[in-house]
Chain A
Amino acid sequence: GQQLNQSPQSMFIQEGEDVSMNCTSSSIFNTWLWYKQDPGEGPVLLIALYKAGELTSNGRLTAQFGITRKDSFLNISASIPSDVGIYFCAGQNYGGSQGNLIFGKGTKLSVKP
C-alpha cells in the first residue's frame, strides 16, 4: 500500500529559527495536507494543497505540492514557542478509497526560547 516517509522525525530548534520538514511518497497523491497535533488533541489542519506545483502560505507557514505529486514540504518561518507540537503530512487520493487520508509518522518540533 501507499506509504509516506516524513522527515525529520524530530527537531529541536531555537526560537526565531526557520523550520523545514518534508514528506515523500512511493506513489502519487491528488491532495497533500499538513496537520499539527498538540498532546492529547486531534490533528488540526494547517494547509491544504490541491495542485502539483502549488505553493500556499498560511501566516508563517508555507507548503508546496511537489511537481511529481509524490512529495510535499512545510516551512515555518521565525518559530515561536507555540509552534511546539507534532506536524503530520497526509496524502489523499480520489477513486477507489474515497478520499481516505494516509498519514506520515510525524515530525516532533521542540522550540527553545
Chain B
Amino acid sequence: DTGVSQNPRHKITKRGQNVTFRCDPISEHNRLYWYRQTLGQGPEFLTYFQNEAQLEKSRLLSDRFSAERPKGSFSTLEIQRTEQGDSAMYLCASRRSGRESSGYTFGSGTRLTVV
C-alpha cells in the first residue's frame, strides 16, 4: 500500500466552474477525512466518513460542497460554482477507528486555484 493518494495534485479553474477531487485512502482504514488548508494556516476539518457513512460536517462545508464515499473506499469532494475564496489545499486523511490508532495518514493534497 502506497499510502493516501489524491488526484489531481493541482487544479486551476475559473470562478463559477465545478471541480471534483478524488481521495484513495489506505485500504484497511475505515475512516476518511477531508481538510482544507489555506496559506499560513493549519489544516481545518471539513467532513469525515466511517465506511460509506458521512458522520460529520463542519460549518466550513457550505452548500456548494459535497462529499461522497459510495463504497466505503475512495471518496470524492465536489465544489460547485467555485469562488476565489475556495482557493486552498484540500487534504484527505485516513485512519483506522479506535482509541490508540489516532495516527492519521495524510495525502499530498490537491491545490485548488480559482481565477
Contact = CB atoms under 8 A, between A and B. Distances in A.
B80 to A, nearest CB: 24
Contacts of A41: 108-109
A24 B99 CA distance: 22
Contacts of B35: 101
A88 interface: yes
B: contact size bracket? 20 to 34
Nearest to B105: A45
A92 B108 CA distance: 21
A94 B102 CA distance: 10
B54 to A, nearest CB: 12
Contacts of B56: 97-98, 100
Nearest to B50: A98
A: contact size bracket? 20 to 34
A94 B42 contact: no
Contacts of A6: 42
Contacts of B31: 98-99
Contacts of B103: 33, 45, 48
Contact of A101 (B6, B43, B109): B43
Given A40-B108, A98-B48, A92 B41 contact: no
The 3 closest A-B pairs by CB, nearest first: A103-B42, A42-B106, A100-B45
Interface of B: 4, 6, 31, 33, 35, 40-45, 48, 50, 55-56, 91, 93, 95, 97, 99-100, 102-109, 111
26 contacts: A33-B104, A40-B109, A40-B111, A41-B108, A41-B109, A42-B93, A42-B107, A42-B109, A44-B106, A45-B104, A50-B99, A50-B102, A88-B42, A88-B43, A98-B31, A98-B48, A98-B50, A99-B95, A99-B97, A100-B33, A101-B43, A102-B45, A103-B43, A103-B44, A105-B41, A106-B42
